Structure 1
Amino acid sequence: MAVPPAYALIATDLDGTLLRADDTVSDRSLAALARAARAGARHLVVTGRPAPRVRPLLDALGCTGLAVCGQGAQVYDAGTDRMLWSVRLDRELAETALGKIEAEVGQVYAAVDQDGVDGLTLIEPGYLMPHPTLPAVRVGRRDDLWREPISKVLLRHQTLSDDALASIARSAVGSLATVTMSGPGTVELQPCGVTKATGLALAADHLGLAADRALAFGDMPNDIPMFGWAGHGVAMANAHPELKAVADEVTTSNEDDGIAVVLERLFPAG
């Protein structure tokens, strides 16, 4: 009888974790994930990117099952191209939250991810996409951001660091929204109480997988809730200090196949 793997669920962030700087996944990482799959482990992408911006990557990875997108606001089924679960950010609350933040720090520039499998990323004048390869539609004024239901708001400030903006935003918005920092130039507002952990827990429950047999990889503070949920959290060498502080171990960087390094140890060939 085959021995079950120590970890039945492998949850990987994308940017700065599984993906290299050029938005590709190395052959070594693909081979390590395939080896883990042959041993019986299930791979789930858990990303801040909305589902429409993830589909091409899921295709490249050969993923036809579930993915947790939009910082946990979306559980997306790649095989059927539909949402199993999604939470919207109330647009009036989002506007109010932006106003409270701007009262503290002055002008910020905003973008939104629309809800749904075909939702667009809209950016207002002055907002610069942190990932220039991701498609976005520029609108004429901020009011245009709210024309369709949204899953989150993305914020940038001309002078404040991401850490400073995130800290001030948390104090300013209170319970109006959850504030996360998911990468360079990426401070986000999402529905209150929604995190990568809530989305991952829903997906895992759907698959009948337990938290204590979950292995999570990440690089930014938005991965902290996921590490708190999973049985074992692995931070990349390039990870934010806040995530490294709560990680069970630190691997090499995303450019140096950090995920593969751990998976090759846990799922040896043979």
Structure 2
Amino acid sequence: MTNIQLIATDLDGTFLSNDKSFDRALFRTVLKILAHNKIQFVIATGVHQERINRLLSDFLDVGLSFVTNNGARVTTSEGEVIFEKTLSLDTLKTVQKLLTTFPVKPSRGLVYSTDDTAYVPREYADVMTADRRQYFKKVIVFDDVSEINDPIFKVTMNWHNFDETQFYDVARQQLGHHVHVTETGTGAVDIVPAGVNKAVGLKMLADHMGISMTNIAAFGDGANDLEMLLAVGHPFLMPTAHINGPFEPVIADNDHAGVLKTILKIINN
């Protein structure tokens, strides 16, 4: 697979182990090999940049590129933001109304996210526990979305013991073409701007770099990775994934550095 010029990976359930760690030494080795072969490395994830910065704090100076918020923001290896798409206030009001009237409240929390700030409705403030707060610079409690002055990339909600497909159906009916509803990769649901997904963001980045999507390898495990996997020339699916498609298998799961080991294998071949 010597035609690979860029490798993109999801984080949760894919690159990160279940305890949110990863093999740092092996990652450094892989990055050196990729640099030698002039292959770019991209984090393509549903999460926001501040969480990535904390998870990958030792690797922010090695030329990584980022497709974050399920494709709503794209940042080059030089730190240039080349694409952003946010939810309009009118859309946020519609989302707020839907979540207020939906009969099953997201018992595990509700967050309106910028790239570093969590805006949390007051009734969900007590669900914003310390382990969740750690991934944001600021947490701001609000009563109405009209109080939010920052650009919102996504609205994330999480239920306990609830079939999220019921919410998907209602959200798609009421929000129409104004948003894209997808999973987060962490068991929650994201509402992002219409026309946004990881494939769109990755295509923006690839075009900026002058790289064809056929020369990209991508790793994923969830429904929010599906568009990206279908769009690239070399899609790899985690062994624990619950989606189907014409994908190559990753040689180990996320608790055993499957992504990094598979990269070494395909580069050495």
Instruction: Give the TM-score category using the shorter length.
Output: 0.7 to 0.9
Shift of 1:163: 4.3
Contact 2:92 2:145 in 1 (8 A): no
Match of 1:95 among 93, 96, 99: 93
Q: Secondary structure at the match of 2:21?
A: coil
Q: Name the structure 1 match of 2:210.
A: 208
Contact 2:76 2:205 in 1 (8 A): no
5 Å-filtered alignment, 1:38-117, equals 38-61=36-59, 62-77=61-76, 79-80=78-79, 82-100=80-98, 102-108=100-106, 109-114=109-114
Instruction: Give deviations 1:128-151, integer Å, cap 9, x for gaps.
Output: 459634235151434376332211
Q: Secondary structure at the match of 1:49?
A: coil
Shift of 1:65: 4.5
Bigger shift: 24-33 or 174-183? 24-33
Shift of 1:263: 1.3
Shift of 1:249: 1.9
Distance 2:32 2:128 in 1: 32
Distance 1:167 1:37 in 2: 44
Q: Name the structure 1 match of 2:175.
A: 173
Aligned-CA RMSD value? 2.6
> TM-score scaled by structure 1?
0.84
Bigger shift: 122-131 or 14-23? 122-131
Q: Residues 111 and 162 (structure 1 numbering): CA distance in 2 closer, same or farther, change over 3 Å?
A: same
Instruction: Give deviations 1:219-262, integer Å, cap 9, x for gaps.
Output: 111101101211121111222x12xx025122221111111232
Q: Name the structure 2 match of 1:254.
A: 254
5 Å-filtered alignment, 1:175-194, equals 175-194=177-196
Match of 2:6 among 9, 25, 43: 9
Q: Name the structure 1 match of 2:199.
A: 197
Q: Name the structure 2 match of 1:134.
A: 135
* Amino acid corresponding to residue 180 of structure 1 in structure 2: T
Q: Residues 57 and 152 (structure 1 numbering): CA distance in 2 closer, same or farther, change over 3 Å?
A: same
Unaligned runs of 5+ in 1: none
Distance 1:6 1:21 in 2: 31
* Amino acid corresponding to residue 134 of structure 1 in structure 2: Y
Instruction: Give deviations 1:179-204, integer Å, cap 9, x for gaps.
Output: 01022342011110111111100001
> TM-score scaled by structure 2?
0.84
Count of matched residue positions in the alignment of Structure 1 and Structure 2:
259
Q: Secondary structure at the match of 1:150?
A: coil
Instruction: Give deviations 1:146-165, integer Å, cap 9, x for gaps.
Output: 33221111122355234443
Distance 2:128 2:229 in 1: 27
Distance 1:167 1:29 in 2: 40
Shift of 1:7: 1.0
Contact 1:113 1:152 in 2 (8 A): yes
Unaligned runs of 5+ in 2: none
Instruction: Give deviations 1:2-24, integer Å, cap 9, x for gaps.
Output: xx923111011111111123333
Distance 1:149 1:164 in 2: 28
Identity between Structure 1 and Structure 2 (%):
25
Distance 2:62 2:265 in 1: 23
Distance 1:141 1:65 in 2: 37
Instruction: Give deviations 1:76-106, integer Å, cap 9, x for gaps.
Output: 24544x4222111112212213423554444
